[in-house]
Structure 1
Amino acid sequence: MKATLYTVIALIAFAANSLFGRMALAAGYIDAWSFTIIRLVSAAVCLAIIMTVYTYRLRRQALNLGSTSYEAILNDKGSWLSSASLVIYALCFSIAYVELDTGTGALILFSAVQLTMIGWGIYKKEQLSALQWAAFIIAVVGFIYLMLPSAAVPSLLAATLMAISGVAWGIYSIRGKSCVSPLRATGFNFIRSLVAVPILLLIGMVYLDNIGLENIDLGNITIKGILLACASGAIASGMGYSIWYMAMPLLKNTQAAVVQLCVPVLAAILGVVFLSEQLTMQFVVASAVILGAVLVFILNKKTVKV
């Protein structure tokens, strides 16, 4: 039950991230580079505050109970590899998102995520039953059916960046299986990411035009863009990724990969609700296929580890 609850909340947070990004970047309220920087900083600040209160209460409990059982939690401070994966994912996603159609970006991103996480699961000897393989294939077909009409031939740079983003997110998710304290691990991962902020600012303000992208223009950053970036960072990323790290130890790598195919469906639903986007029969059919296949995959209990 916990795995289901955590996973659903995390997937909604991922979809909200897509919504915030679409609202901010597609409308031109902020550039992708600045969006990423503000997203990282706001997530780090939010999690640092929450983590400080959480750690204080944890230490009080340990002191009152005279217990050392909290040491493992207090010693969980994430890792530089996880933080680097987080920065690479966020930055590449934001840049590529501007250059790619929604369908094209989603196809490339989630293909890379699936290959990374399922490939790692197979490497770790996670076996899938025939029914699970069938459910996975059906879910992928439904996903392609949903996204393909809006897909277009991408530029090589944008496609490569989105693929790198997907691989980085797959690595970040896999790393979550070993965390003891999801909140502290996520918090420290975002705090470490702040090391990259001065570098990103320097590149964004001076060197972007050398690779065919526009430099950061502070005059074109709007209050709405900043607020959307903060919402993406503090709420959808900071809290959402913490909850995802709570779910990861309870899921197989293959399960965690497959359930993420629901994210485009949830994002599209949020788009209908909050952006008045059109609901089509194709979306209804594709959503039913994806969600049904994912449900069959998750409910099948024959996955074993040898």
Structure 2
Amino acid sequence: MKTVNTYIQTIGFTITALVAFAANSVLCRIALKDDFIDASSFTAVRLLSGVLVFLVLLSFKRKPLASNGKRKAGSWKAALMLFVYAIAFSYAYVSLDTGTGALVLFGAVQLTMIATSVLKGKRLHLAEWLGVLISFSGLAYLVYPTLTTPSLSGFMLMGLSGIAWGMYTSFGRGSIDPMRDTASNFKYTVPFVAVLVLVTFPAMNISLYGVVLAVISGAFASALGYTIWYSALAGLSEIEAAVVQLSVPVIAAIGGVLFVAEAISMRLVLACILVLGGIFMVLISRWKSAKR
């Protein structure tokens, strides 16, 4: 039985992780849109900076007890999904605008995680389906003014990125030690990054500002954000974890209002109501099911 403190902790972890995801998206778009760095270099620096920050953090953390020492942290399949998500995400945003990319990415995440949940035998109630639909409608309404017909390659890459992220999230739901698992997942991406650098080295385009953006994205928004996300997943169902991520574009838009002095539009207000209302429906439905 979950306690009040557990619920509060889950909410805190979830909100923090979602803010990190929003920051990650903004950093990536800034870096790639203005050609401060190419997609492969951004991905490589992002993942390697995550590895480095974990080397520092784990040097201060006590080693696991002998009874837990046999458990292998992280996994190669999770690392592969992390790498596929990161590289496909970067290359997709070369040809997609912000709104279209967000819609394709989070649509793919929803479909992947809902399908995973159904395959595990967890059926969705009508209120949950309605909640998912309302939240996704809110996201579509928010990004509608910027929607364009996506290029086939950009659409497929962002769809692949969403599927990979949905699977990476599903792998993390059983994490016992989120920091060590996330650290290992980042460490296991190093061979993939090495191959990427060898293949794309002749076409690399790097600037100091682009590297700084990638480091911030990898060390903070990715490494720390994903660790917190794995911690949050312990208190979230598959469907809850899927639907709350629809709030990321909304959080990014609110960040634009707070930090970039963008105007508060009626579209943003209505989108927030729809997205958060749909999420609330899913959470309430899950809470009532748990009580029964």
Equivalent position of 1:65 in the other structure: none
Tell me the equivalent position of 1:41: 48
Alignment partner of 2:214 out of 210, 225, 229: 229
Residue 295 (str. 1) matches residue 280 (str. 2): yes
Asked whether the equivalents of residues 36 and 229 of structure 1 are also in contact (C-alpha less than 8 Å), the reply is: yes
For residues 187 and 273 of structure 1, the distance between their equivalents in structure 2, rounded to whole angstroms, comes to 32
> How many Å separate the matches in 1 of 2:255 and 2:34?
17
C-alpha RMSD of matched pairs (Å)? 1.6
Conserved? CA contact 1:19–1:270, under 8 Å: no
Q: Distance in 1 between matches of 2:89 and 2:162?
A: 8
Q: TM-score, with normalisation over the residues of structure 2? A: 0.92
Deviations 1:143-162 (A, max 9, x none): 11111221111111111000
C-alpha separation in 1, matches of 2:254 and 2:262: 9
Verify: 1:5 aligned to 2:1, yes or no. Answer: no
Q: Please point out which of 97, 100, 117 is paired with 1:101.
A: 97
Counterpart amino acid of 2:108? A
Query: Retained in 2: the 8 A contact 1:126–1:303?
Result: no
Give the match for residue 3 of structure 2.
none
- Identity over aligned pairs, percent: 41
Instruction: Report the equivalent of 1:163.
Output: 159
1:16 to 15, 23, 32: 23
- SS of the residue 1:279 aligns to: coil
**CA displacement 1:238-284 (0-9 Å, x = unmatched):** 00000111111221111100000000001112223333444321111
Cα pair 1:19 1:271 within 8 Å, conserved: no
> Unmatched 5+ residue regions in structure 1?
63-67, 207-214
Distance 1:161 1:120, change over 3 A: same
The aligned residue for residue 51 of structure 1 is 58
**Structure 1 residue 73, shift from structure 2 partner:** 6.4
Measured in 2, the distance between the counterparts of 1:145 and 1:290 equals: 10
2:113 pairs, out of 93, 117, 140, with: 117
Partners of 1:275 and 1:228 in 2: CA distance = 17
Provide TM-score, normalisation by structure 1: 0.88
Cα distance change, pair 185–254 in 1 and its aligned pair in 2 (3 A): same
Q: Which amino acid aligns with 1:89?
A: Y
Partner of 1:252: 237
Alignment of 1:279 onto 2:275: no
How big is the shift at 1:292? 1.9
Matched, 1:264 2:249: yes
Partner of 2:84: 88
How much has 1:27 moved relative to structure 2? 2.2
Aligned length: 282
Give the C-alpha shift of residue 88 in structure 1.
0.3
Contact 1:179 1:185 in 2 (8 A): yes
**What CA distance in whole angstroms lies between the structure 2 residues aligned with 1:106 and 1:42?**
25
Map 1:195-234 to 2 at 5 A.
195-206=191-202, 215-217=203-205, 221-234=206-219
Distance in structure 1 (CA, Å) of the matches to 2:72 and 2:172: 11
Residue 97 of structure 1 deviates from its aligned partner by: 0.9
| Cα distance, 1:167–1:37 mapped onto 2, change above 3 Å | same
| Residues 164-173 or 23-32, more deviating | 23-32
Contact 1:117–1:170 (CA<8 Å) still a contact in 2? yes
